[in-house]
Amino acid sequence: MSATRQLHDLGQSLWLDNITRALLTSGTLERYIEELAVTGLTSNPTIFDHAIKNAGIYDDAIRSKADEGKSGEALFFELALEDLTRAADLFRPIHDATGGVDGWVSLEVSPLLADDSAGTIKAAAQLHTRAQRPNLFIKIPGTRAGLPAIEETIFAGVPVNVTLLFSREHYLAAAEAYMRGIERRIAAGLDPKVGSVASIFVSRWDVAVKDKVQAQFRNRLGIAIAMRTYKACRDLLASPRWQKLAASGAQPQRLLWASTGTKDPTASDVLYVQALAAPETINTMPEQTLLAFADHGAVNDAMRVDGGSAEIVLAEFKREGVDAEALAADLQREGTESFAKSWRDLMLRIGSKRERLTRTQ
């Protein structure tokens, strides 16, 4: 049995952190579903920027939409929705077979809305309505302005992938926003079953501290943070508050491990996949990491629900001078800024390609 199938059978969903039109038209995504047990995918502005930059496969679509007068964000969202609705249709049988637990794709609102709660709520509703797919998450960052937008979007019945979470505290804040939205739906007599995942970014922790700690501490911090967060998630799902919601028909907000490609060239290329094996969670991984795990990965022990050695490891980092709370805030801020930069780069990329394609007609 393949390592990817073993991980799936353990109870963890494998999602692809990539989307390109070539993946769809070549049949590669279908093959990953059939052969590698891939059951969903995620996207972000950087992924789309690379896809449009490195492939002429989007040229005809960009030219056609430019002829219709579309540009900038409007043009991009049409391209993205074409790709993601097609991917959603591929995953729809999984979505239906699992009762809406799995088989999702994700589309992000503009990162430029990170500090605009009202704008985020409006954009999330519009994008989900345009997609017309029940298995499409709208990605909203778990920032200060994002949290009220998450609650309102869930209350409106729009599924949400909460992105840019870096710590247990970030996760708990996102879970609180999700549960408030569900509780309000129940109070209003609405269906409490609205999908959501909470995405914890892992490897960026280790990148942030690699030059600040001794060699024996490298590539350990992100995993410890994930273990601590997993314990918090399991504790929350066992709480009376959540059990009451579950009894009303609500589905758990699943924990998703993001940023799971290994950044350290001296470490195993499947380091985070193997360390983060945990039932009832999701690991969304870059294509290169997925293929590496399928080739030479191994499924060892599942992550412990009590957090294992997380607190011991985090205490060691604290003695090394790492303030996890402050670093989590820095990572979220830097992640927000990075996504905004990627978005601006993407808009420039589309604009320049649109201009070139229309000029050469």
What are the pLDDT digits (tens) for 139-192?
999 999 999 999 999 999 999 999 999 999 999 999 999 999 999 999 999 999
Please tell me what DSSP assigns to residue 121. H
The confidence score (pLDDT) of residue 279 equals 97
The confidence score (pLDDT) of residue 55 equals 67
Tell me: pLDDT of 357 over 90.
no
Percent residues over pLDDT 90 in the chain: 93
The confidence score (pLDDT) of residue 324 equals 97
- From first CA to last CA, the distance across the chain in angstroms is 52
DSSP string, 78-95: HHHHHHHHHHHHHHHHHH
Tell me: pLDDT of 84 over 80.
yes
Q: What is the mean pLDDT of the chain?
A: 96
Tell me: pLDDT of 3 over 90.
yes
The confidence score (pLDDT) of residue 52 equals 84
- The number of angstroms, rounded, from the C-alpha of 184 to the middle of its chain's C-alpha atoms is 25
Judge contact between 322 and 213, C-beta under 8 A. Answer: yes
Tell me: pLDDT of 56 over 90.
no
Whole-model pTM: value is 0.96
Residue with tokens 């229309």: 358
What are the structure tokens assigned to 76, written together? 């991009």
Q: How confident is the model at residue 54 (pLDDT cuts 50, 70, 90)?
A: confident
Length of the chain: 361
Q: How confident is the model at residue 51 (pLDDT cuts 50, 70, 90)?
A: confident
Q: Any residues with CB less than 8 A from the CB of 165 and at least 6 apart, and which?
A: 142, 171, 174, 198, 199, 200, 201, 332
Judge contact between 46 and 317, C-beta under 8 A. Answer: no
Instruction: Give catalytic residue positions.
Output: 139
Q: Domains in the chain, please, with CATH?
A: 3-356 (3.20.20.70)
- For residue 259, give the 3-state DSSP assignment: coil
Judge contact between 181 and 153, C-beta under 8 A. Answer: yes
DSSP string, 124-143: HHHHHHHH--TTEEEEEE-S
Question: What phi, psi does 15 have (nearest 5°)?
Answer: -115, 155
Distance CA 194, CA 323 (A): 35
Q: How confident is the model at residue 48 (pLDDT cuts 50, 70, 90)?
A: confident
What are the pLDDT digits (tens) for 105-128?
999 999 999 999 999 999 999 999
Tell me: pLDDT of 361 over 70.
no
Residue with tokens 């998630």: 233
- Range 234-260 average pLDDT: 98
What are the pLDDT digits (tens) for 266-318?
999 999 999 999 999 999 999 999 999 999 999 999 999 999 999 999 999 99
The confidence score (pLDDT) of residue 53 equals 80
What are the pLDDT digits (tens) for 11-44?
999 999 999 999 999 999 999 999 999 999 999 8
